Structures are given as C-alpha cells and as structure tokens.
Structure 1
Amino acid sequence: MYDYEKLGVFYLGRGYDMSSGQTAPEPVLYDAKDLTTHAVIVGMTGSGKTGLGITLLEEAAIDNIPAIVIDPKGDLGNLMLTFPNLQPADFAPWIEPADALRQGQTVDECAAQRATQWKAGLAEWDQPVDRIARLRAAAEVAIYTPGSDAGRQLTVLKSLDAPPQAIRDSSDALRERTSTTVSGLLTLLGIDADPLRSREHILLSNILEQAWKAGRNLDLPQLIREIQSPPFTQIGVMDLESIMPVADRRQLAMTVNNVLASPAFASWTQGERLDIQKLLYTSEGRPRLAIISVAHLSDQERMFFITILLNEFLTWMRSQPGTSSLRALLYMDEVFGYLPPTANPPSKLPLLTLLKQARAFGVGLILATQNPVDLDYKALSNAGTWFLGRLQTERDKARMLDGLEGASATAGVAFDRKRIETILSGLKNRVFLMNNVHEDEPIVFQTRWALSYLRGPLTREQIRSLMEKQKPVATAPATAATPTATSSSPGGTTESAAAPPILPSEIRQRHIPVARNVSRTAGIVYRPAVLGLGRAHYVDSKLGVDVWEDVARLVVLHGDSVAKDPWDDSEAVAVKSLQNDDPAADARYAPLPSECQRATSYKNWTSTFKAYLYRAVTLPLNYCPQLDVYAEPGTSVGDFRAKLVHAARERRDLEIEKLKKKNEPAIARLKEKARKAQQKVEVEQQQANSATMSAAMTFGSSVLGALFGRKKLSAANAGRATTSFRAATRAADQRGDIKRAEANKQAVEEDLTQQEEDFAAQIDQLKESFTEDQLTVETSAVKPRKSDLMIDEVTLVWLPFAVSANGTLTPAFDSELLQS
C-alpha cells in the first residue's frame, strides 16, 4: 500500500489507461499548494464531477484545510454521511424506500448491500476503514441554510455593517464592495439594475458609501429611513430631487420595507452572524467544512446571498497575511449563472477578483460546472488545474480546448491540442483528464472511492436531522453571572422599587438600553451599579507588543453600602455594549446606597480604580513554543489554534522545500548513474552477443576447413582454430563484463533506493513534528505601563430588569454586555 497519508498531498485516484480501460497500481497524488492557482471541474451529469469534488474536500479536511462550500443542489451535504464502522444500520436511514423497491430489496437489505459495497470499494482503492474516522476527527462538517432553520441559520442583516478600515481606505476596494452589495440587494428586490444607469443603484451606492466612509453601520430599517431622507442633497453635480424625486424614493423605500416585513424574510434576520473566520474554524480552532446549502432559495435570493458571502470572503481574505501554502478553499458547485461569459450579475465581480488575487493569500477556488460555456473566459485562463470529465457536445469540447490552450500559454507550458482532443473524446464515468500547469504533462486518472456515502441531494428534513445536535443553543437575555432579584411583596411588585433618586449634578448617570427581545409591555426596574472606564497601555518590546486597550469594569450593587475599594468584586464589561439610553417609560428604581449619592465617593473610586487596573488587569497573550509564534492581542485561543494550523503547514511546506533542494541533486545524480549503469549493461550485452556470434562463426569456419579442405591439417586451419579459441575467450570475458556491469547497476539502484527512503523518512518526520497534536498553546500576561494608565470616568449605571407576574426580576439588558 502506498503511504499517501504522510506526504502532504491529496490522494485523488489512480492513473487510467485509455486503450486497455485499466487503472495503474500507483496512486495519483496532487500537491495541495497547486490549488492556490485554482481549479475548474467540468463534466456532464453522471460524469462523476460531484464525486471528484467530494474527494478533493475530503482530502483537504484530512490535511486540516478548511473550506466554504456553496451547494446549490444539496449534493455536497453527503460529506456529513461518514460512517467509521460501515454498519448496515448506519446506511439504513439514508436509503430511499423507492430505490430499494426498484432493486427488489427491503431497506435493510439495501443498506447491508451498501455497507458491503463501501467496504469493498475502500479496500480496492487501498484506503483503510479507519481513514473515515481520521476524516471525522480532522475537521467538523456543518450545513448552513440561510433563510431556513433546517441547518444552522445565518443572518445577513449585519452585511450592511461598515467594512474594515483597510477597505475604507482604498477607494477601489470600497467602490467594489459598495457596488456588489447594492447589486445583490437590488437583485433580491427584483430590480435588474445597471450600476452606471440605474437611479436606484446610484442612490443606494451613495448612501452606503457615505455611511461606510464614516465607519457607520447600517441595517435595513436604517437604510429605509435614509432612502426617504438621504444624508445628502446632491449626487455628482445634480441635486437629489432631479435624479430621484421624493415620490420615487418613497416607492423604493416601500419595496425594501415590503421585503423586510415579509414573513418569509423573517428567517434571514435570525441565526449566526455571517463571519468567515467562524465559518472556517470552530471556536476551538478546529478546521471546518462549512457547506452553505442554497437549494431551497429562489434564484433572486441565491444571487443576493452568494454575492454577500463572496464580499465577506473577500474582506476576510484581504485581512490575512500573504502565504504560499494553501490556507483555505472556496468550493462552488454548479457555478452556472454566477460567472457567465457575457452578462454581469452581482456575483461576477467578486468571483473574478478572488480568481485574480486569492493566490497571494493562500486561498484556492474550485469551480464546478456541467458546461464550459457557463464560465467567463477570463476565469478559465486564471485556473491552473483543469479536471475534465465527459462532455456533452463538440461545442463544449472546443470551448474547453480554447480555455486550456489559453491557460497553458499564460503559464508558459506547451499544449498538445490534438492529443487532448483525442483523450476528451474517450473519457468514461469517473475518469478525468487532469491538466495541471505545475506538472510536465496532462494525465488521465480514475477517481478513488469516496469516504462519504454518496446518496444524492439531501432534503431539508434530512439536513434538519443531521444538524440537530450542532445547532447553537439559544441564550438568555443576560448571562448567568448577572444576579437576579427575587424579593417581592405579596402584592406582586418589587418591594424596593421606587421613583428615581435625586442626585447632585456632578454625578453622571447612564441608563443601559432595554434589550430588543424584552416585551414592550413589561414593567422595568433599574438596579444600580458603578462603572469604571479607562485605557491601559501594554508595552513589551521583546514580544513586539505596543497596544492601547479600552477597559471597563462594572460593580453590581446588592446591599445598602459600597466598599471603599469595590473593584475587586467588579466584572469585565464589553465597552461596545455600553450605549446610554433614555430611561424606559414608567420605570421604577431600586434603592441607591448612600455612598452613591455623594460626588466625593466617585473621586475616591477613581483613585482606587487606577490602582486596581495596575494590580489586576493584564493583557493575555497566547504563545506556541514549537513555532515560536505569539497571538495578536485579543485573539481567542480557538482563532489562535486556527492560525497555528496554517503556520505549521507553512513551516512544513518550507522545510519540505528545503529538503527537496538538499536531496534532489543527490537523487538526480544517482538516477543518472543508474541510467548509465543500465546503458553499460546493455552495451556489454550487445558486445557479448557480438563476440559469441563471432566466436561461433570462426569456430565453424575452422571446422569446415578441416572437414572439407585438405586431408592434412594445414597451417591456415591451425590459425583459424587459434583465432576461434581467442574469440571464445573474448566472449567469455564479455559475459564477465555483463555480470560486473549488472552488479554495478544493482549497487547504484540500492544507493538510489536508500537515498529516496531516507528522503521520505525525513519528510515523514517533518510532518509528524508539525501536526496539530504536537502544538501546544501557553499563555503569558503583559502588565500595563503604570504611568500610562488613564481613567476616563467612574459613573453610576442603571441596569434594566424586567418584572415578571410574580414580581421576580430578570435581566432585561443585552447578554453581550458582560464579557465573562
């Protein structure tokens, strides 16, 4: 069995002989780094295109490479159907009764047959059954269903948030992001808008661009308000009313509002935020195959969501450091309509941008389609690897050959059009032509047996069943660390609730907003807390740290008095969640300790707060000793582990390249010696054959001369006999030369084998030293610089609590307020 697992490559299948229809014994291995120049899979229905795509994704997962998988048909959810034990009971829930009936079997009989089939298939392709368990352990697989609660939901409302500063600082990047976002939104609204001519597109683009330049986030309700009353009165050199009068703006706002108010759109507002880092990695830093299933969406909804997803992916990609190793994959099945050769749908620009720029960031795109005419020619020329299966028409073949020729010319690689055309005409199911610009010539191969059970498209109910255990548990409005008041009077109201206290003007007050999910009819009671806001400066030249960080601590008050130094009982607070709000109507207030009613108390607490920060606050930094890498401040352990996985892969690839450069000259010299040794054996064999023939002819001549010449042995006959003896001696010497040449050849081949084995062992050792299991994460703490500690304010805060029917108080503020 070939040990393909330890080489940092993808096992795709085996070479295929077109003339005999047989596979070769050696595996076809594909260097993962080649995917940074992207790949295209083309093949008609039934060609095995989906199976090849799943094979690539399985290999990526085993190599700890995460992927976002856009699945318009529902086939790629099969990646979740991995059964390490390969028992019939594992297959039974996924057998269609109608399919079993057509085969004259019960569901259980069909499941048993599938189990046997999968065991045999894996064995035939030299894959141990435990490889399935390795796949499951290497990466999480999750199905996301935007606009549906079948899988994990994704909300898109945050997609109108201002992009990162790096994009806002680049006029081209900001313009590109604005244009594609607006195009996607208008597609959802059913408006086919030209970015240069459409009034709707121009208006929305100006609204978004102005808000984003200022770093201001938008949501759909705010967008509706700004459509009616834009924060500008002129577009270009013309006034707003001339370009789009108020009546037309009102009509556009109504259209957006109708979408927002539609019950069908409610599911788009729920679920996890569309965060690419969190899609690619779990909270523990484990790689993930995030399958975005959009089969249930309409064409307009698909275009809207995929455009937003691609924009978010671009933003994430540009925030990553450059690398030559494969960092992540973006796989898109059935790309028809999203990257057409002539039209310009909203998805086209971000896809073309990714194809042009992603390589520098170690991101690979894999685009699959049934027909090459579905793809823009520029996109085809940007793909370094082509996987070509059976094609439907001669037009498809011609289009494919044109694209291959262009890609080869771009890469400076020779292209044999006639030979490739002949191969394309004879491809069978699961047989593909792979043209990789990083290799010397194209190869034909048959795909290996999939580790996942390929049962076909999954229904929404099947997705729901698979994802039931993975769906996030809904959280309460506040964390468990927040105390609740249970004291109530017999009358059902909190006995401590009263009117707001009258305080000196020097005492600043904040009212934390009531969370949106709290009923507007609920009674609100405010409880007091002391809030300290400041800034800490962390400096460590050895670690390259120079960071200012906002700090906020909240002391929730429970009794009738407050300690002189209350900060040891404080809790960390999310600064971004500390908006100040007007108090709720008819709200009541819990009693306020007397210390909180004196302005001098806040001055004293300011002094003790500064001492507390120096004493208790540190900047935790995660550190990996094996790679000597520190995390950036604020990076979670999970995100740092995700970074380490890629850093280890980069280091592994770099060390392997060094080993190759070190070993390849010696291996090349030994191969040349082996070639010459083989050549020497062939020369000696030819000389020996010639000498043997010459000796035989000389001996024959002397014998014939003696038999048919004179009756007495003449001097000439004696000379011929002597010559014959000498020829026989030379022939014997030549045979000795053959043995010596063969011995030399064998010695050289043994040296070559030993060199290659040593090289493979060194690579294996390298890979083992950079596995995730070998990487540990330690934590070091950087103290703030005492002289730079700054206290912004120490103030009184009122926390809202909702009053239940029996008088119990429960937190009514956002759960994100408390960081702990």
Structure 2
Amino acid sequence: MADLLLGRTQDNTDVSVATDDLVTHGFIVGMTGSGKTGLGIGLIEACLDAGIPTLLIDPKGDLTNLALVFASLSGPEFEPWIDPAQAKADGSSPAEFAAKQAALWKEGLAPWGIAEEQLAAFKAKVDVAIYTPGSGAGIPLNVLGSLQAPQTDDQEVIADEIDGYVTSLLSVVGIDADPLSSREHILASNIIAAAWAAGENIDLPTLLARVQQPPMRKLGVFEIDEFFAPKDRQAFAMRLNAVLAAPGFASWITGQPIDIDAMLRTPDGRPRCAIVTTAHLSDEDRQSATSLVLSKFVTWMRRQSGTTDLRVLLYMDEVAGYLPPTATPPTKKPIMLLMKQARAFGVGVVLSTQNPVDVDYKAISNAGTWMIGRLTTERDKARLLEGMTSTGVDIAAVSDAISGLGKRQFLIRKAGKNDTEQFGTRWARSYLRGPMTRDQIAAVMKAAPAVVPTSQAQTDAATPPPIATQPEAPVPEAAPTLGAAAAPGA
C-alpha cells in the first residue's frame, strides 16, 4: 500500500489517499476553473510515481498534458507549448512568456520537494502514450477492425465483449439497438459467437458477408429467414458497408489493437500512462470508441487474479455524457459493471465531472472517496448533496463548506469515513497548457518510442511529461465522422 499525496490543509498538513482506498473508487466534481483537472492530473502522477499504471479516457484533451513534464524547467522547454494568445495578453514575447511559465512551475513545485532531479527521475520511470482512435496524430487504435476472441473460456466475459463490440458498431451505423430485441444486434452477436466458438478470429468485412449469408440455420426456434428476412439482412449489410466505404474509415481499422497489457506496462515493466483521447471525434464516435476500449478493459480485468491493493487506475474525465441518469449509451454498461466489480481485481475507477446533475448516482454511490470543488449553481450543489446522502457525512456541514471553497480547494471524504477534510491541491509536475491539437499530439508522439502489442516482440511507448494553468480549450480539429457515413439512405 502507498499513500498518494493530493495536497495540504490550511495548517500545512499533508492530505493523501491510500491506494487500497482507491480500489473502492473515487469521484471528483467541480465547476470549470475549480482546479478539478489539476487535482486529477496530480492524482494520476502520484499513481505513476508509485509504480501504478493508469488508463485514462480523455474526451476533452486536457489529460494529454501529462506528456508535458519538463525536467530542466527551462523556458526553451516550455516555449513550444505555451499559448501565444496568453503571451500576447501578458505583453510578452513567446520566449519571455515561456521563461515566466518555467519560473512559475519551478516556484510552484519547490514547496512539494520537486526540482529538476525529481522530474528527471519521474520521466525515467514512467512512459506516456497518447492513443487517438480515428486519427493518426497519436498512436492509432484499431477499434473496429479486429474481432479477436478473448483469451478466456468464461462465457460471461465472452458475451460481454461481444455485446460491447456489437452495441458500439451499431451505434456507429446509427442503430440504437437493444441487445434483447434488436434483430441486428442478435444476428451480429450470434455470428461473432459462432466464429469464436470455432476458434476463428473474424474481421468486419467477414461479419458483413455473414450478415447476408448467416452460418446458422436457426436463431432460437425460428428459421433464420423467418427471424430476419433476406431483404432486411441485405439492408443491414448495406448500412455496414456504408461505414466500410466511408473515406475516413481506414483510420479506425489501422494501428494498434486494443491490447490492455501493452497499454499498461512497457516490456521492461515500467508503468505506462495510457491516454485515450477522443477530443477530435464527434459525440457519437466518442461513445463508440470509449465503449470498445472499456469493453476490452473489462475482459482484461476479469482475467486478473484478485488483490486488495491498487493494480491499475482507470480515470475518466468529464464522465457525464457517458454515465447519464436515464439514457443508456453504449458506455454506461461497462462503467456500471466496473464500479460494481472492479474492486475485487485491484482496479480503481475515478470518475470526474463538472456536471453533477448529469451523472447516474446509482454508479457514483459505489465510490468510496469523494473530492468536491467549487460548483456553479445551487442546483448542482443540491444534486450532489442528494447523491451523498448514502455516504454518512453531515450534509449540512458539507453544504456550508462547498459554498466557501476557492480555486484549487477541495473537500475530501475518504472511503469508510463519515467526515470531510478541506485541502488545497498540490502543484502538478505536468505543464497544464490545456488541450493539445492533433499537430501538437503528433509532435509529442514523434519523439516517443513506439508501443507494440504484447503479442509482438518490440516496444512502442510514449514518453512525454506535464502541467500549468488551465486555459480555455482550443476547438479540436475535426476527425472523420463514421456515424454520418451510415446515415444517408441507410
């Protein structure tokens, strides 16, 4: 067990969270400008420093800043990453502003005992890899093209992985499918299950062909043509083909497979910070890519032995759209499952949001550690306090404390405790410059080693660093949108 330093109280007492407490999961909430991103990045850095790998789901692009750790704390290191608009507003040249940022970071890290030597040691022990599904800017992920059978005989695991893949695929195609009633979902799932049972790994073109000519005669008690008429199967195949034929589809079936082992550790055993950033995607494609990664992660998790300490941290930023209170996007099922089952496998899940009204508290109630920053409205505060009623804290005291929080100030309720503690967050090692563009991600990853799946005998990792004040996120460059390709006349 290790203690992960989060910050300090007003009387200069360290505030930490134990790794075995994080196995009971965590929830971070705070409005824009509260310091929520800095707190999350600080927690992730502490895990990595303790040798714990992290898998990060990054829909806004803020977590890519973990690739911006500058060991010498010099202006020239910072200059390529500063915001020119901030430099102009400061009345400084880019070089002058970069020097000021370097000095700011040096001054901010000093009270935490972090200087050039500690930053260099951190960079040496940690590998950062930025994965960009649907784009070649970072490490591309083959999220749709590979249908390799999971290495398990557990039928529940197999069924969950098939369900995750098919639900995400149909979402891309524009079909909101119920696994129990949708003919498309049932047929595609049975085709994949039959192939895997026969020891066959198939691909999307093969799946499309078998939709037209299914390998089974019956589904349930019905003949296949009665259950799903040939003309309707042909229409379904045409929708799948529209995605395959889309100009941007190649970027979704090239690159690394979703190999969780390779994403979490380098071949020499160093912890990896695996950042799956989806800021460049449409909302629908973010859902699909995230669901596929989470489904693979669940399968990987269930192959692990049980442990009471933290084996890996899964961190999801801005989770509201992926875990809504009423709707059921494809991401919701794997998140709910992880919040209920991951503890037994030593997997800690931390969910972060600025919209406490828009998350499902049935899942959040499973979180043992809550970290609460400034909130925008009384409605947000009321919804959060309602969600905390099961934690045993003094709701009135928490309400008063939230109202008095400043920037980078948080309340923490630790697992198994009925009281809260107020603290200020520590200074992050990473340069918090805000979301990176695809060109910036490409520049970071170009200098990094390459991450190769564990089934291959090479290394492909990414070794960047992080931190700074959080500017408004630049508008991300658009990526090919798969959902749009399937819509016309489908």
Cα drift, residue 85 of structure 1? 0.9
Task: Choose which of 318, 324, 332 in structure 2 pairs with 1:340.
Answer: 324
- Which residue is 1:522 aligned to? none
Q: Is the 8 A contact 1:38 1:385 kept in 2?
A: yes
CA deviation string 1:21-73 (max 9, x = no partner) = xx222211221221100101111111111000100011011101001111111
- Tell me the alpha carbon deviations over residues 83-114 of structure 1, each in whole angstroms, 9 at most, x when there is no partner: 11101111111122222111111111111111
Q: SS of the residue aligned with 1:24?
A: coil
- CA spacing shift, 1:333–1:473, aligned 2, 3 Å: closer
Aligned pair 1:114/2:101, yes or no? yes
Change (3 A) 1:249 1:438: same
Task: Determine if the alignment matches structure 1 residue 430 to structure 2 residue 408.
Answer: yes
Q: CA RMSD in A?
A: 2.1
Q: Which residue of 2 aligns with 1:722?
A: none
1:421 matched to which residue of 2? 399
Deviations 1:185-226 (A, max 9, x none): 101111112223322122212222222333322210110111
1:13 aligns with 2:13: no
The answer as to whether partners of 1:285 and 1:638 remain within 8 angstroms in 2 is: no
Whether contact under 8 Å (2:323, 2:331) holds in the other structure is yes
Q: Provide the secondary structure at the position in 1 that maps to 2:248.
A: helix
Q: Are positions 1:315 and 2:302 aligned together?
A: no
Aligned mates of 1:162, 1:135 — CA distance in 2: 37
Q: Does 1:62 align with 2:49?
A: yes
- Whether 2:343 is the aligned partner of 1:356: answer no
What do residues 340-376 of structure 1 show as CA deviations (whole Å, max 9, x unaligned)? 1111111111111111111111110111111122221
2: CA distance, partners of 1:162 / 1:112: 52
Q: 1:159 to 1:306 in 2, by over 3 A?
A: farther
The 2-side partners of 1:367 and 1:137 are apart by 28
Maintained 8 Å contact 1:286/1:638: no
Post-superposition offset of 1:441: 2.1
User: Which SS does the other structure have where 1:277 is aligned?
Assistant: helix
Partner of residue 86, structure 2: 99
Q: Where does residue 81 of structure 1 map in the other structure?
A: 68
Q: Which amino acid letter does the alignment assign opposite residue 8 of structure 2?
A: R
Q: Which moved more, 1:460-469 or 1:26-35?
A: 26-35
Aligned to 2:421: 443
> 1: CA distance between counterparts of 2:277 and 2:340?
26
CA separation of 1:192/1:637 partners in 2, compared to 1, >3 Å: closer, same or farther? closer
Compute the displacement of 1:241 (Å). 1.9
3-state DSSP of counterpart to 1:325: coil
Preserved contact between residue 122 and residue 129 of structure 1 (Cα < 8 Å): no
Distance in 2, Cα, partners of 1:106 & 1:209: 60
Residue aligning to 1:264: 248
Report if the CA contact (8 A) 2:394-2:418 is conserved. no
Distance 1:471 1:84 in 2: 18
Contact 1:207–1:231 under 8 Å retained in 2: yes
Contact 1:152 1:471 in 2 (8 A): no
Deviations 1:678-701 (A, max 9, x none): xxxxxxxxxxxxxxxxxxxxxxxx
How far has the Cα of 1:184 moved from its partner?
0.6
Higher RCO (CA < 8 A, seq sep 6+): 2
Seen in structure 2, the aligned counterparts of structure 1 residues 442 and 637 have a Cα distance that, compared at 3 Å, is farther
Aligned with 1:25: secondary structure?
coil
* Contact 1:284–1:638 under 8 Å retained in 2: no
Q: Which residue in the other structure is 2:77 paired with?
A: 90
Distance 1:201 1:100, change over 3 A: same
Q: 1:193 to 1:453 in 2, by over 3 A?
A: same
CA distance in 1, matches of 2:418, 2:222: 59
Look up the match of 2:134.
147
Partner of residue 274, structure 1 = 258
Percent sequence identity over aligned pairs: 50
Aligned-partner Cα distance in 2 for 1:223–1:96: 46
Unaligned runs of 5+ in 2: 460-490
What is the SS of the residue equivalent to 1:263? coil
CA distance in 2, matches of 1:38, 1:473: 28
Q: 1:173 aligns with which of 135, 152, 157?
A: 157
After TM superposition, list the pairs within 5 Å mapping 1:22-421 onto structure 2: 23-157=10-144, 159-167=146-154, 170=155, 172-406=156-390, 408=391, 414-421=392-399
Q: Distance in 1 between matches of 2:364 and 2:144?
A: 33
How many residue pairs were aligned? 458
Deviations 1:649-703 (A, max 9, x none): xxxxxxxxxxxxxxxxxxxxxxxxxxxxxxxxxxxxxxxxxxxxxxxxxxxxxxx
CA shift in 2, pair 1:38/1:637, >3 Å: farther
Q: Could you report, residue by residue, the CA deviation over 1:292-340 in whole angstroms, capped at 9, with x for unpaired residues?
A: 1111112222111111111110111111111111100111111122111
**Matched AA of 2:7:** G
Is the partner of 1:312 in helix, strand or coil?
helix
Aligned match of 1:466: 444
1:452 corresponds to = 430
Say which SS state the counterpart of residue 320 (structure 2) adopts.
coil
2:296 alignment partner, SS class: helix
SS in 2 for 1:141: strand
Deviations 1:426-462 (A, max 9, x none): 1111101101123452101110111111111100000
User: Residue 466 of structure 1: CA displacement?
Assistant: 0.5
Q: How does 1:482-501 map to 2 (within 5 A)?
A: none
- SS for the counterpart of 2:139 is coil
* TM-score computed with the length of structure 2 as normaliser: 0.89
Deviations along 1:526-549, whole A, 9 cap, x unmatched? xxxxxxxxxxxxxxxxxxxxxxxx
- TM-score, length of structure 1 as denominator length: 0.54
- Rg larger for: 1
Q: 1:149 to 1:46 in 2, by over 3 A?
A: same
The 2-side partners of 1:471 and 1:274 are apart by 18
Partner letter of residue 10 of structure 1?
A: L
Task: Name the aligned partner's letter for residue 5 of structure 2.
Answer: Y
CA shift for structure 1 position 128: 3.6
Q: Distance in 2 between matches of 1:255 and 1:635?
A: 33
TM-aligned CA deviation for residue 271 of structure 1: 1.1
Q: How far did residue 402 of structure 1 move?
A: 2.1
